[in-house]
Amino acid sequence: MTTPKLRFKEFDGDWAESKLQDCIDSIDSGWSPQCESYPADENEWAVLKTTSVDWDGFKANFNKKLPSNLEARFEIEVKPSDILVTRAGPTERVGVVAVVPQTVSSKLMISDKLIRLKANHDNNPEFLGISLSSAKCQNQLQSKTSGLAKSQTNISQKILSDVSLMTPAKEEQSKIATFLSAVDEKISQLTQKHELLSQYKQGMMQQLFSQQIRFKADDGGEFGEWEKTTLGKVVNFQNGKRVPLSESDRQKRQGEYRYYGASGVIDHIDDYIFDGQYILIGEDGANIITRSSPLAFIVEGQFWVNNHAHIFQSKNGSNVFLAAYLESLNYEKFN
């Protein structure tokens, strides 16, 4: 029996350590027939993909339409408050948890790569979902996954049922779940705002660097014309100082200094090569096409760089301006 250090003041009862199997009414998996390659319309039946269960929440549109020659299985249709857990896939995608929201009307079935839990009367499903997402529960699951490779691992219903977690009375569970849901909603709103601002920034960069928009000088006058040049003439490359380290070498040298690759920090080690403000631009990798993270970016302080990122400094101009300009360009033709 124990209690958390931080809790709502109206609660003072002990938390009990329980097995997940004691907190649920049922646990099952679904069905994976050969489906269409596209998602179902609103009134059509579909089978959920494992990617429908994400740390960001349940994504109902990540599904595949059930072919018209197959009958739906009503017993595996997801319902609001169902707790879904991914049971098979790459290591980082096994044990992912999401709770089906009240707004889902369904006609969606779980696949055999998903495990579904239904909370019993004494437990709040949202709280159980939050608990299963905690480091304590995730460590238990990850320590018991099986599979021949990290790309194909799985957990069984038995392993999931045996997970140990701490549970207070249902009233306190509900209070915690409501509070954290409100935090998630705020995060979602801020994320949407960030995405809109990022789109706005990209649009402004395109207009600024194509000179569709020009700023005035402080005295109201015009700035001079832009000069066409090459990158090699305006920067000092430092690529010759880069040193790649293997993963095994880095494991032996863990420390406080950032170790950069093509798309950002990939590790921390015990020493640095560079000290100051530099521009890094990814030399290779999928990010040249996907641009899921910045390709050209500023790095400051003390750090190490491997041979998958070019590193340089502006000779006379602004590193920040140059990094922003380089980030605005399309590099697909060079890949």
Q: Is residue 223 part of a domain?
A: no
User: Is the separation of the CB atoms in 181 and 131 below 8 Å?
Assistant: no
User: Is the separation of the CB atoms in 4 and 176 below 8 Å?
Assistant: no
Q: Residue 95: which residues within 8 A CB-CB, separation 6 or more? A: 85, 86, 132, 138, 141, 142, 145, 155
Provide the residue range defining the domain that includes 235: 231-334
Q: Is residue 216 part of a domain?
A: no
Residues 65 and 165 in one domain: yes
pLDDT value of residue 123:
97
Phi, psi (rounded to 5 degrees) for 205:
-60, -45
Output the pTM of the full model. Answer: 0.69
Residues 25 and 152 in one domain: yes
pLDDT value of residue 18:
94
Q: Is residue 217 part of a domain?
A: no
Domain limit, last residue, from 125, 144, 169: 169
Residues 161 and 267 in one domain: no
Domain limit, last residue, from 140, 169, 198: 169
Residues 156 and 300 in one domain: no
Q: How many domains does the chain have?
A: 2
Q: Is residue 183 part of a domain?
A: no
Per-residue confidence in pLDDT tens, the chain, 335 aa: 567 778 888 888 889 999 999 999 999 999 999 999 999 998 899 999 999 999 989 999 999 999 999 999 999 999 999 999 999 988 899 999 999 999 998 899 999 999 999 999 999 999 999 999 999 999 999 999 988 777 789 999 999 999 999 999 999 999 999 999 999 899 989 999 999 998 898 888 888 888 888 888 888 888 888 889 999 999 999 999 999 999 999 999 999 999 999 989 999 999 999 999 999 999 988 888 888 888 999 999 999 999 999 999 999 989 999 999 999 888 887 76
Residues 157 and 47 in one domain: yes
Q: Is residue 56 part of a domain?
A: yes
Q: Is residue 176 part of a domain?
A: no
| Closest of 334, 265, 332, 329 to residue 301, by C-alpha | 265
pLDDT value of residue 2:
67
Residues 155 and 236 in one domain: no
CA-atom Rg of the chain in angstroms: 26
Q: Is residue 107 part of a domain?
A: yes
Residues 154 and 290 in one domain: no
Residues 41 and 160 in one domain: yes
Domain limit, last residue, from 142, 169, 196: 169
pLDDT value of residue 335:
66
Q: Is residue 1 part of a domain?
A: no
Residues 301 and 164 in one domain: no
Q: What is the CATH number of the domain that holds 277?
A: 3.90.220.20
Residues 262 and 152 in one domain: no
